Structure 1
Amino acid sequence: MIRVVRSCWCFPSTLPGLAVAVLNPLFGGTTAAHTGVVESHGGLAAWLLRHATLLRGGALAITLGEVVLGRTAAALDLTRAHERVHVAQARRWGPLFYPAYGLATVAAWRRGACPYRGNRFEVEAHAAA
């Protein structure tokens, strides 16, 4: 019961990732469950990570609620501990996760820190990885 409530709380953060994960096999990618999280790599997920991120050069993986998108299976393996911290954050913050993450990015930038590395959510995830 608690798992269902947690997933409902997190669903607004999960929905965009779930949309990519469902479509990804149509673009040659793979989607599967891994340790209670949907993981999707290759295909559309890889294209988005190369082209549609704010990070220069793209990202290896990204967490969208309870979905982790990766460029490759190896990228998912490499980033799993880091991305699982973001899954836990999304579960904790629910629909407030994206606004809170954005505010943490702005706060890091205003402090003169790197908007990515100085973001409190990223600091927590990098510490675990």
Structure 2
Amino acid sequence: MAPIDLDGTWKLVKNENLDAFLKAMGLNFAVRKMAAAATPVLEITQKGDVFKVISKGVKTHESNYTVGQEFTDKNPLNEKETSTYSPVWDGDKLRIDNKSNPEAIHVVRELIDGQLVQTQTIGSGDKAVVSKRIFAKK
């Protein structure tokens, strides 16, 4: 049994440190401003440990995975590039680690006060840049 239920449609309500995170990804000023102005929606279908996540924003991206099983997915910024990810439960958090590139983006999703908090980290150690995206259920 999954420790949390993320099923539903979630709309972005707040970003924290997004510009620094996007800058660490190598995105230019114009793209960063466009991303900051967007209000993406996550459509999450969860059946236990099986997930279908559709992210609708500047681009639409769909991921399908099962917690505990590595999966390959396209890089949303470069459709020609793929990475292998490992989704695991970390207590009551869903952690998705990039196994292909430890310096790439890692995501943690959790529920805090009824909101979906998505913490994104790029890099590691002293060079890690962390951003939070907070979503409310529609």
After TM superposition, the score normalised by the length of structure 2 is: 0.28
Query: Between Structure 1 and Structure 2, which shows a larger proportion of helix residues?
Result: 1
After TM superposition, the score normalised by the length of structure 1 is: 0.29
